[in-house]
């Protein structure tokens, strides 16, 4: 599964945690643990997008949609 995740990250360059979870049918915590391997190796960068509305409860502001991963190769 890690190989397939890597292929997707390289192909898209930047992918949200939400999109990764949906694509690979995975829970966010499990996906984050897998991605930590490449973060520690310096191959992947995690970016947290700040919620601009401050107090919205819209589904578009889910934590998984506010975390982006960028491949660094």
- Contact criterion met (CB below 8 Å) for 17 and 67: yes
CA 30/CA 40 separation, integer angstroms: 16
How buried is 5 (Cβ within 10 angstroms: 0-12 exposed, 13-18 middle, 19+ buried)? buried
- The total domain count for the chain is 1
The tens digit of pLDDT for each residue in 6-55 reads 999 999 999 999 999 999 999 999 999 999 999 999 999 999 887 656 55
DSSP reduced 3-state for 73: coil
Q: What is the pTM for the complete model shown?
A: 0.80
58 Cα distance to chain centroid: 19
Other CB atoms within 10 Å distance of the CB of residue 64: 16
**By residue range, what is the domain housing residue 58?**
2-71
**CATH number of the domain encompassing residue 7:** 1.10.10
């Amino acid at each position: 599964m890690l190989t397939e995740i890597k292929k997707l990250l390289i192909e898209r360059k930047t992918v949200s945690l939400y999109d990764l979870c949906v694509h690979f049918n995975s829970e966010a915590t499990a996906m984050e643990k897998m991605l930590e391997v490449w973060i520690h190796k310096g191959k992947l960068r995690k970016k947290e997008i700040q919620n601009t509305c401050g107090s919205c409860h819209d589904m578009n502001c889910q934590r998984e949609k506010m975390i982006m991963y960028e491949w660094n190769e």
